[in-house]
A and B are shown apart, each in its own frame.
Chain A
Amino acid sequence: MAAVKFTLNGKARSVDVPPAMPLLWVLRDTLGMTGTKFGCGMSLCGACTVHINGQPVRSCVTPISTVASKSVTTIEGLSPDRGNPIQQAWIAEDVPQCGYCQSGQIMTAAALLAKTANPTDADIDEAMRNNICRCGTYQSIRRAIHLAAELRAKGGAR
């Protein structure tokens, strides 16, 4: 078992864990980064979504060995001050209810906006339909993504 080195929210990290161990559990149990959530363990719900080299990825099915030398961003690393337009829009629209799925929703939405600056409702459906919310905050999520797109356009991409 060799240590796996990767970049987490801009900082170099090294972990000594089984190579098959999913990134989710490395984040949560090994590194104590609990903002990324466990929901299904099978890439079915999206609660564990993080960015690897800027792409949205389900960390619950991502073996840590495949993360070596890559750059991981979690909800904790999205901004230092909830200043990311997505987070600002989520606050403005008061999106969360129980809040458990929202780290994953926000990370998926951030990846959508990075790719599609002004998404249509159909773009939002396509990007977000694999992120489950049992509280049914979908209507607010849709509004918040449109608002975040406006905020980004005004303030420039961050």
Chain B
Amino acid sequence: MSLPNVSRRGFLRSSGIAASGLFLGFHLTETAAAAAATKLNAFVHVGADDVVTLFIHKAEMGQGTVTSLSALLAEGLDCDWKKVRTEFPGVDREFGPMQGVFGSQSVRTSYDSLRRAGAAAREMLVKAAADRWGVAPAACRTENSAVVNTASNARLTYGSLAEAAGKLTPPANPTLKDPAKFQLVGKPLKRLDTPSKVDGTAQFGMDVSLPGMQYAVVARCPVFGGKVKSFDAAKAKAVQGVKNVVQISNGVAVIADNTWNAMQGRRVLEVQWDEGPVAGMSTAVLTKIFLDRMQQPGAVARKEGDAPGALAAAARKIEADYEVPFLAHAPMEPLNCTADVKPDSCHVWASTQGQSAARQIAVQVTGLKPEAVEIHTLYMGGGFGRRAAADYVGEAVEVSKAAGVPIKLTWSREDDLQQDLYRPASHVRFAGALDAEGWPHALTGRIACPPFGGLNNGVSRVGVEGVADVPYAMPHLLVDYHAIDAGIPVSYWRSVGYSQNTFFAESFLDELAAAGGKDPVEVRRRLLGKSPRMLAVLELVAEKSGWGKAAPAGRARGVSLVNNIGSYTAQVAEVSLPKGKLKIHRVVCAVDCGRVVNPAIIEQQIQSGIAFGLAAALKGGITIDRGRVQQSNFHQYDVLRIDEMPVVEVHIVNSQNPSGGIGEASTPGIAPAVCNAIFQATGKRIRRLPIRPEDLA
């Protein structure tokens, strides 16, 4: 803990907060490397008005981060938690190298840091009060944003002490509150952001407005990687309200006096494209490449025992191929960014998961020094991984730089679906061996998918996660991988590799159970001997779902497990197929995400992840033809709707383990739970997503 130097108070001014009061900097540990850095990267301010402001390099995209982090801080500080405000300060070097929200990290990395920061600020306020009263700090207690003199019952509010406390030296090792005395953490507190989200006042990136701002849309090559060959702006410029047409690295921007007129200009803009090499790519071509590569061994991702030998000698061998398509993120708020580039400064307003990436691209485009670039973070209308990339920020900065005016750049839904960075299409070939008693004891999985997140010895870690790290003790296991770059941009999509690989692995394990004549829960139980937390959620979900007892008439159940983002999740889906039409009635989910900050938000996120995963299981699919995406809007890329949402029951394991993530915990397991239930109901094994009517018939 220490006091930040005065120059870093700059962001206080931009927040409209007085520079006086108690201002405390601390370390928010992101990674081991960041923890070793000496720079402070988060700040707490206590103002004379009792308002506590947390400056933190996170952002809110619906996952409840603002609410959870505020509760953690307020718990340590003993302040009225309704007086906590969260600000996402402009990105700054002091805040560490990787600012953003991804990988379900926010609570995981903040739990201890925020408790400590709150406790340190509290000790400083207590010391200030004790000094004023001429008593020892031990003669004081705190409650509800005030210090109380235990002997006299006199009270001083935090606000009245903030200035004096701000002059004290922060304690190096503040005493942490006993978790048994927590009043906020672990309780189902209401979200702080709800009121502004029911009256239209919440400010999303899309809602930013600047004086003199103009509106831009960009025509991009429909083929990935294509470039502008030439363009004729005459017709676009003739459209009412169109102010300018400028070429940028990614296409041609049409700038107008409002978004609609810019879109009208783009409709008639004439661009000749150099489509490049990806113009020959299609889903059919890619599938053929996947299947060809399946014939050859890939780079080894995991090897235990001798899986090929065990398969050759097995009493019974089961083989199956599984596949999934590319998926778009489709957050409800289409991508957008507002940028104001001047000769010596660049301001960016964006709903972004990645403030560091946003600043990096703005620096690159403008040539300005990093300190001349400021990123203003707004609420995100969904992110799901898409907003971790900063391509759309770079576009807005380029257009503002070229046009010399503040620019709000908006993507249409068509732009969003056709120019995404997709969840990779993926193909896997499994073989599994059963012993003489019908228990699985060997597994091989060969995965082919476009690589992302870097290759290590030929293996994309995220490409194989969910198969290479199955939670089961399998004596013989071999997972190998083929990196196939099809020229289609891919990136992180809620739960990343687990989004496809858990479907593959949990479905195939179910196949092995069925082939061996075993109960799906019994097989998993037997293989989870070395994973007590995984086993515990399996037992909990089995109990709560009524596994082993008869399902309601006409319904069948399926189970799945996953260990991702530091959490353990088990699901049981209950489905029926009246007249062959799939209906998902109920999903029971047991989750162990370590120490719980807010059980209501955990429940929300489990439901949310299931809805997201169900959309992919039932509907989602981006297909490619002539290097172009064939889907353009929600009529061709449908998502889950209210009448398709099952009742989701969430059961949280009481745990004192370090907090795991929650935003991506339930997405991987829903597709296999549903497909395993379909098998129980019909005997049909679903080996590709989305589930098609013909696969159920």
Out of A35, A41, A98, A125, which one reaches B333, CB within 8 Å? Answer: A98
Whether A39 contacts B260 by the Cβ 8 Å rule is: no
Q: Which residues of chain B (192-207) have a CB below 8 Å from chain A?
A: 193-204, 206-207
Interface residues of A in 58-80 (CB under 8 A from B): 74-76, 78-79
Query: Does any Cβ of B come within 8 Å of A6's Cβ?
Result: no
Contact, CB under 8 Å: A100 / B198:
no
| A139 pairs with B645, CB closer than 8 A | yes
Closest CB-CB distance, A133 to chain B, in whole Å? 7
Q: How far is the CA of A128 from the CA of B207 in the complex (A)?
A: 25
Q: Does B413 contact A35, Cβ atoms closer than 8 Å?
A: no
What's the minimum C-beta distance from A2 to chain B, rounded to whole angstroms?
14
Given contacts A40-B413, A99-B193, contact A141 B200 (CB under 8 A): no
Known: A39-B413, A98-B61, A103-B200. Contact between A125 and B643, CB under 8 A? yes
Q: Min CB distance, A72 to chain B, in Å? A: 14
Residues of B within 8 A of A28 (CB): 259
Interface: B224 (CB within 8 A): no
Question: Cβ of A75 and Cβ of B413 under 8 Å apart?
Answer: no
User: Are the CB atoms of A94 and B191 closer together than 8 Å?
Assistant: yes
Which residues of A sit under 8 angstroms from B258, Cβ to Cβ? 17, 21, 25, 29-30
Tell me the dominant secondary structure on chain A's binding face.
loop
**Majority-rule SS of B interface residues:** loop
Q: How many Å lie between the Cα of A77 and that of B198 in the bound state?
A: 12
Residues of A within 8 A of B412 (CB): 41
Bound Cα distance from A102 to B379, whole angstroms = 14
Q: Does A97 contact B (CB under 8 A)?
A: yes
Contact of A42 among B199, B200, B410, B633 (CB under 8 A): B633
In the complex, B641 has a CB within 8 A of chain A: yes
Find out whether the CB atom of A40 lies under 8 angstroms from the CB atom of B611: no
Q: In the assembly, what is the distance between CA of A29 and CA of B264, in Å?
A: 15
Docked complex: A118-155 residues within 8 A CB-CB of B: 124-125, 128-142
Inter-chain CA distance A33–B206, complex, in Å, is: 12
Assess the A106–B198 pair: CB atoms within 8 A. yes
B608 interfacial by beta-carbon distance below 8 Å:
yes
Using a Cβ cutoff of 8 Å, how many contacts connect chains A and B? 184
Task: Decide: A132 and B195 in contact? CB cutoff 8 A.
Answer: no
Q: Is the CB of A134 within 8 A of B332?
A: yes
Residue contact A74 to B200, C-beta cutoff 8 Å: yes
Shortest distance between the CB of A73 and any CB in chain B (Å)? 12
User: Do B193 and A96 touch (CB < 8 A)?
Assistant: yes
A113 at the interface (CB under 8 A from B): no
| B365 close to A (CB within 8 Å) | no
The residues of A that contact B146 with a CB separation of less than 8 Å are none
Cα distance A47–B197 in the bound complex, in angstroms: 13
Q: Do B195 and A99 have beta carbons less than 8 Å apart? A: no
Give A96 to B194 CA distance when docked, in angstroms. 6
B199 and A76 within 8 A (CB): yes
Interchain CB contact under 8 A, B642 and A18:
no
Chain A, Cβ-Cβ closest to B190: A94
Known interface pairs A99-B193, A132-B332, A135-B611; A35-B641 also in contact (CB < 8 Å): no
Is B634 at the interface (CB under 8 A from chain A)?
Answer: yes
Cβ contact within 8 Å between B198 and A102: yes
The reply on B402 being an interface residue by CB < 8 A is no
**Closest approach, in angstroms, between the C-beta of B606 and any C-beta of chain A?**
10
Contact of A94 among B261, B600, B612 (CB under 8 A): B600
| A136 B612 Cβ-Cβ under 8 A | yes
A144 to chain B, nearest CB (A): 10
Q: How far is the CA of A131 from the CA of B645 in the complex (A)?
A: 13
Report if A35-B330 is in contact (Cβ < 8 Å); known contacts: A29-B215, A97-B64, A138-B611.
no
Cα separation A130 to B380 with both chains bound (whole Å): 22
**Residue contact B63 to A134, C-beta cutoff 8 Å:** no
In the complex, chain B residues whose CB is within 8 Å of the CB of A137: 604, 607-608
In the assembled complex, which residues on chain B have CB atoms less than 8 Å from the CB atom of A87? 198-199
Q: Is A135 a contact of B641 with CB atoms below 8 Å?
A: no
Interface contact B197-A99, CB-CB below 8 Å: yes
Contacts of B34 in A (CB 8 A): none
When distances are taken between beta carbons in the complex, the residues of chain A under 8 Å from B197 are 96, 99, 102
Minimal Cβ-Cβ distance residue in B for A99 = B197
* A100 and B333 contacting across the interface, CB-CB below 8 Å: yes
Contact B200 A35 (CB under 8 A): yes
A-B contact pairs, 7 of them (CB 8 A): A29-B258, A39-B334, A44-B413, A76-B199, A82-B195, A98-B332, A100-B331
New contact pairs (18) apart from A36-B200, A37-B333, A82-B198, CB-CB < 8 Å:
A28-B259, A29-B260, A34-B206, A37-B206, A38-B206, A38-B259, A76-B199, A90-B194, A90-B198, A97-B62, A98-B331, A98-B382, A99-B197, A129-B642, A134-B330, A135-B62, A138-B645, A139-B648
Residues of chain B whose beta carbon lies under 8 Å from any beta carbon of chain A: 60-64, 190-191, 193-204, 206-207, 209, 215, 240-241, 258-261, 263, 330-334, 379-384, 410, 412-413, 600, 604, 607-612, 615, 633-635, 639-643, 645, 647-648
